[in-house]
Amino acid sequence: MVVEVAGETASGKTQLCLLAAAAAALQGHEVMFVDTTGSFKPDRVVQLAEGLVTGGSGSAAAGAAGRHDPAELAQHLGGCIHVHRAANVFELLTFLDRLDVSLQVQQLQQAAADGGAGGMDWAPAGPRLLGPRLLVVDSVSALLSTLLGNAQHTQGTTLLTAAGRTLKQLAAHHSIAVLVTNHVTSARGGPAGEGERSATAAAGVGGLKPALGEQWRPQAHMRVQLSIDDSQPGARLATLTASPVLACGHQSSFYIHSSGLT
């Protein structure tokens, strides 16, 4: 599944990505983190992981059993989280294509190995999950928004669609959870009335909507929009704006602390 987190500056997009990477790594999963803005901070990932461990956060804490030493924890996270820098959309597409090819090769090699062991009692009962379980792109809009100007609109739309299609293929073909971030832009006409809640959720929140236009909108299976909650100092608000299984409009407040998000 491809999940998009959109939001204004300082709404918590990158913090959510870092937390997701830390949680996945604590469970021993491989994570690919594509950093397009220099937002990835290893020290912050360790800090968030320590918060998950000391806070006893479910499976993440269980997966970190025996890794309470900060140096050991940092080493474990560094071995699971692989950071790739992408300065433009072409570097992003090249990385995604190479990842897809690499995973296909691994699948073929695994299938060949399993076929050779077909008559043995210890042969696996089903396909094994290979490669990363989480792919983060923070932020996709930093690369794609610059391509959607008037002079480059056609090429930009083509590249935007290619990026979205490749992300969905990686999610579907290799069972990878894909998390991307997007910025927001003004929604024409502003927020709708209370009786138009579902329409508001689809268009955006608080007069803001995800950037990159209608061509990008169908690329994500689930969309969450973050905003700063002015009614509560320091609070952020997460609103579900698109989902294949849940009704849009669900909201949840959260706070960003040194030890994590609550």
Q: What is the pLDDT along the chain (262 residues), one digit of tens a residue?
A: 999 999 999 999 999 999 999 999 999 999 999 999 999 999 999 999 999 998 866 565 555 555 568 899 999 999 999 999 999 999 999 999 999 999 999 989 888 887 765 554 544 444 456 789 999 999 999 999 888 765 556 888 899 999 999 999 999 999 999 999 999 999 764 433 334 444 444 457 889 999 998 889 999 999 999 999 988 999 999 999 999 999 999 999 999 999 899 9
CATH label of the domain that carries residue 218: 3.40.50.300
Number of structural domains, the chain?
Answer: 1
Q: What are residue 215's phi and psi, to 5 degrees?
A: -65, -30
Domain that holds residue 46: 2-108+128-261
Please, where are the H alpha helices in the chain?
13-26, 42-54, 58-63, 70-80, 89-116, 141-144, 153-174, 197-203, 213-216
Residue 114, in any domain of the structure: no
| Residue that is written with structure tokens 């560094």 in the block | 78
> Does any domain span residue 92?
yes
